[in-house]
């Protein structure tokens, strides 16, 4: 007999939230959760989400372009009157980047640095003056399991995710006394178009899922749930830290025996 799992409900009425990379799986899931709980959400992306929501306004912005980001954040502040939460999520991991450093095209390295690291800087930098005026705000950086430990052939993406985690720590220390909390979330492999595009490079869905002790890929909604809590008053004493939402991936030593492949992946 199944036991009750418990439920959490959030009230974000009146809050203004910025989510980058909103056209993708995790970004849209986060934006949608905030919108469903009453927040006004602004999504920044160069692409267009396949879904829509009455409380989500999508602005076409390249987060790697400082001027575009500054203009968008200024527009949001003027329209909404404040910024309560920023979720830095927009990142790229091109399939062609799965190779040793000396074999990666320089343009791919530049792209990952510009978007994955520079984009986080520009969005936070643009929103922080308003948060300082308010003496309140939360910034959540989406990092990765690669922020803590790596695998072969990700010398471009992995270090950018480690940078995202350290950006959160640095900003948290610098702005704590202004009433601003900054944290990061490190997902494992999540079932998104980004991950599915590189399944072959990661050994296939079965092998990738089986590396996680829970035996499956994560869901975008599971990352959104973590972001929702970290952005809420329930996490009011949480800052300058990272939450690993990785199905146990980080707890398994590289020397550990692999799990038996589940029948569904054979």
The tally of domains found in the chain comes to 1
Residue 10 falls inside a structural domain: no
pLDDT band of 224, cuts 50, 70, 90: very high
Q: Determine the distance from the C-alpha atom of residue 55 to the mean position of all C-alpha atoms in its chain, rounded to a whole number.
A: 20
Indicate the average pLDDT of the chain: 95
Residue 260 falls inside a structural domain: no
- The CATH number given to whatever domain includes residue 64 is 3.40.50.720
pLDDT band of 241, cuts 50, 70, 90: very high
Q: Determine the distance from the C-alpha atom of residue 253 to the mean position of all C-alpha atoms in its chain, rounded to a whole number.
A: 24
Which residues neighbour 123 within 8 Å (Cβ) at sequence distance 6 or greater?
18, 20, 44, 63, 69, 73, 86, 88
The pTM assigned to this predicted structure is 0.95
Of 230, 265, 255, 262, nearest in space to 244 by CA:
230
Q: What are the φ/ψ torsions at residue 45 (nearest 5 degrees)?
A: -165, 155
Q: What are the φ/ψ torsions at residue 167 (nearest 5 degrees)?
A: -60, -45
At 197 the pLDDT is: 82
Segment 107-160, tens digit of pLDDT: 999 999 999 999 999 999 999 999 999 999 999 999 999 999 988 899 999 999
CA distances from 57 to 29, 99, 208, 223 (A): 14, 37, 34, 21
Segment 98-116, tens digit of pLDDT: 999 999 999 999 999 999 9
Residues taking part in catalysis: 157, 161
Greater model confidence, 174 or 194: 174
Q: What are the φ/ψ torsions at residue 108 (nearest 5 degrees)?
A: -70, -40
Segment 20-76, tens digit of pLDDT: 999 989 999 999 999 999 999 999 999 999 999 999 999 999 999 999 999 999 999
Residue 77 falls inside a structural domain: yes
Cβ-contact 25, 10 below 8 angstroms: no
Q: What range does the domain containing 78 cover? A: 16-248
Instruction: Classify residue 183 by burial, with Cβ atoms within 10 Å: 0-12, 13-18, 19+.
Output: buried
pLDDT at 199 over 80: no
Residue 60 falls inside a structural domain: yes
Residue 144 falls inside a structural domain: yes
Residue 72 falls inside a structural domain: yes
Residue 1 falls inside a structural domain: no
Residue 4 falls inside a structural domain: no
At 77 the pLDDT is: 98
């Amino acid at each position: 007999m199944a036991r009750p799992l418990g439920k959490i409900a959030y009230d974000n009425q009146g809050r203004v939230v910025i989510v980058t990379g909103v056209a993708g799986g995790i970004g849209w899931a986060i934006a949608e959760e905030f919108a469903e709980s009453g927040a006004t959400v602004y999504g920044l992306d160069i692409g267009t989400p396949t879904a829509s929501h009455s409380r989500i306004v999508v602005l076409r912005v390249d987060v790697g372009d400082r001027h575009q980001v500054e203009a968008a954040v200024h527009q949001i502040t003027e329209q909404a009157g404040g910024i309560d939460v920023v979720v830095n999520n927009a990142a790229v991991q091109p399939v062609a980047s799965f190779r040793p450093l000396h074999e990666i095209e320089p343009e791919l390295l530049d792209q990952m640095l510009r978007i994955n690291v520079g984009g986080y800087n520009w969005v936070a930098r643009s929103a922080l003056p308003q948060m300082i005026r308010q003496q309140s705000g939360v910034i959540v950086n989406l990092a990765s399991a690669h922020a803590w430990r790596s695998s072969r052939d990700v010398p471009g993406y992995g270090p950018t995710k480690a940078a995202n985690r350290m950006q959160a720590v640095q900003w948290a220390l610098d702005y704590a006394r202004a009433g601003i909390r900054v944290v990061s979330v490190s997902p494992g492999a999540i079932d998104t178009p980004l991950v599915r595009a590189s399944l072959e490079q990661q050994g296939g869905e079965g092998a990738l899922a089986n590396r996680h002790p829970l035996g499956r890929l994560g869901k975008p909604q599971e990352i959104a749930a973590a972001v929702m809590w970290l952005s809420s008053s329930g996490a009011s004493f949480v800052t300058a830290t990272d939450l690993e939402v990785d199905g146990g991936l980080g707890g398994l030593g590289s020397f550990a025996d692999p799990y038996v492949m589940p029948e569904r992946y054979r």
